[in-house]
Amino acid sequence: MEHDLTPAVTVRAMTKQDLDAVVAIDAALEGRQRRAYFQRRLASAVKEPRLHVQLAAADADGLVGYILARRIEGEFGRQLPGLRLEVIGVRPAQRGHGVGKLLLDALVQHARQHGVADLRTGARWSEHTMLHWLDAMGFTLAPNLVVDCAVGDGYQAERDDALELPEGFGTSHEIDYGAPAGNDFERIATLRCDVRAMAPADLPQIVRIDSVLTGRNREAYIAAKLGEAMDESAIRVSLSARLEGAIVGYLMARADLGDFGRAEPVAVLDTIGVDPGYEHRGIGHALLSQLFASLDALHVDRVETVVEPTTQLALLGFLFDAGFKPSQRLAFVRPVA
């Protein structure tokens, strides 16, 4: 795919031959090298081309910029497909010459051709240069609220919650608060139910629960997320919760190791659901406890997610109870049409 957007610069699909140039531009912008991050993103695009859009801008001297986006289809009940703009970079000498706009225009063209409703992204409120560019490119504040939680804060919230477990969920078990944090996370999860890594055989039961919660069959979306979890090129945490031999809840998250202005690894919680017949029995908290344990093992210190406050108030309350707080990052949206 190639767009002759100006006489000097063309935009085309990114290839693995662009990796060195992308890493060099990114290092010049960020002050550190993130080769492993871009290798992983390119590998994911090769594995699942339908879910990724990665474009490069080049002139006669070589690569001058790039833009990476990921297709979002079902996160927390989303009904229309979108593209999440993850990374954009322009060679320092070419900044201010419209290369970023050329890349974004090509991304919008791709979105229109593939039935995408909008572009979404996020940035810290203090990133004034990026905020100015997003404003100039037609992005506006999204109605979503970004919330995040330090793994340690989530650990404390779950530990406190474990002291108030409902009858029948192991309140007589003593938790060793002096043990390493990961052990406590796992103990808290075990007190409520059996939480383990999601497996392909879990898919039918998870789809059933999700259909009850959303009113739609999202088997393709859930199967795609599960497929990513099985792919070694991705860093994903997908969990299922079992009680009395049945799957009663699920959680899907991914480790974000470099998207848009992140200096440290962050996990993004994509979706969480509990069978309505097992509500208020600590299943959601058990899933989060195991997520915190997994992130602790991966040396990921923070997890974030995006919530629509007007329609997901119960979810927001649950997350706040689990230690989440409003993030310093803002959510932005730009309709494709």
User: Does 190 share its domain with 102?
Assistant: no
CA distance 72 to 82: 5
What's 300's domain CATH number? 3.40.630.30
Close Cβ partners of 307 (under 8 Å, ≥ 6 residues apart) = 76, 144, 145, 147, 315, 316, 319
Q: Calculate the CA 283 to chain-centre distance.
A: 22
Least confident of 75-89, 94-108, 149-163, 318-332: 149-163
Least Cα distance to 253 among 287, 299, 204, 279 occurs for 287
Q: Do 107 and 169 fall within a single domain?
A: no
In this predicted model, what pLDDT tens digit does every residue of 82-120 receive, in sequence order? 999 989 999 999 998 999 999 999 999 999 999 999 999
pTM score? 0.79
- What pLDDT shows up at residue 244? 84
pLDDT range class, residue 77, cuts 50, 70, 90: low
Q: Which residue did the predictor score with more confidence, 182 or 267?
A: 267
Q: Are residues 177 and 266 in the same domain?
A: yes
Per the structure, the complete domain to which residue 278 belongs is given by: 146-327
Answer yes or no: do 169 and 67 share one domain: no
